Amino acid sequence: MSDPILEVRKLNKSFGPVHVLHDVDFNVYPGEVTALVGDNGAGKSTLVKCIAGIHGIDSGEILFENKPVAMTDPRVPTALGIEFVYQDLALADNLDITQNMFLGRELTSGRIFLSDGQMEKQARQALESLSVRTVSSVRQQVASLSGGQRQTVAIAKAVLWNSKVVFLDEPTAALGVAQTKQVLDLVRRLADQGRGVVLISHNMNDVMAVADRVAALYLGRVAAEVKTADTNTTQIVELITSGRSDGLGLSAAAANESI
């Protein structure tokens, strides 16, 4: 078992009087898919935004490759190699796949002029490395892509930048059966290439299909962090809805106090 690549320790976060995250511990391991599950309002998004540098943290620490880092700005995690693929994919419809994948980080010659050929080549390599077979041209406009293809492009963007940790927020939320399968395959491949992948999802089937471990949040506390192989859907659902399941989860006192 290797060390976690990203480690969150005793993280607390309040918005005014509302204590959203209580002493949250959360680990991401290289080469593994960690599912972050929890009901609406459990604090998943807040946790991700704290790591992304969008929200400041009140106390606790974040370690990247065993070194404490201060996520004071969204550019800090990006510079470290942590990518976030948000639910609303943040792709520009009027640009093509290559242009979207390089958006904001274009390759240039002489700092001003675009090196389109170079970008096209690298975009294609990134998609090839993920064995993407659903995209016929990297010069296709994103407007003409299906939901699954868009998700693919958003994920491939993370590969392009050789990121070490990738956060995926509900990547299969709006997809059909076949497309969901494609995207989950892609998620698995990201981890198989050695990245730490965090899958935020409501869908237990997805979680059981690709995740190596599951971290369940319940009202701002980590109810449990378990290996997928050691658990089952029913147990995870119980952790999400009541914070405890048999021997696992928060103590009855903690679970009740949270309410």
Point out which residues bind another protein (CB under 8 A): 74-75, 78, 86, 88-95, 99-100, 103-106, 108, 112-114, 117, 120-121, 124-129, 131-140, 143-144, 178, 181-182, 184-185, 188-189, 192-193, 209-210
Closer CB to another protein, 86 or 254, in the complex: 86
User: Which secondary-structure segment (H or E) carries 129?
Assistant: helix 116-129
Structure tokens at 144: 């003409």
Measure the CA–CA gap between 244 and 258, rounded to whole angstroms: 12
Closer CB to another protein, 91 or 166, in the complex: 91
Closer CB to another protein, 94 or 256, in the complex: 94
Least separation in angstroms between residue 236's CB and another protein is 20
Closer CB to another protein, 91 or 248, in the complex: 91
Whether the Cβ atoms of residue 222 and residue 250 lie closer than 8 Å to each other: no
Closer CB to another protein, 16 or 104, in the complex: 104
Least separation in angstroms between residue 126's CB and another protein is 7
Q: What share of the chain is helix, strand, coil (3-state, %, to 5)?
A: 35, 30, 35
Least separation in angstroms between residue 37's CB and another protein is 20
Residue with tokens 């958003």: 154
- The phi-psi region of residue 153 (left if phi > 0; otherwise alpha if psi is between -120 and 50; otherwise beta) is alpha
Least separation in angstroms between residue 217's CB and another protein is 24
Least separation in angstroms between residue 197's CB and another protein is 13
Measure the CA–CA gap between 10 and 213, rounded to whole angstroms: 19
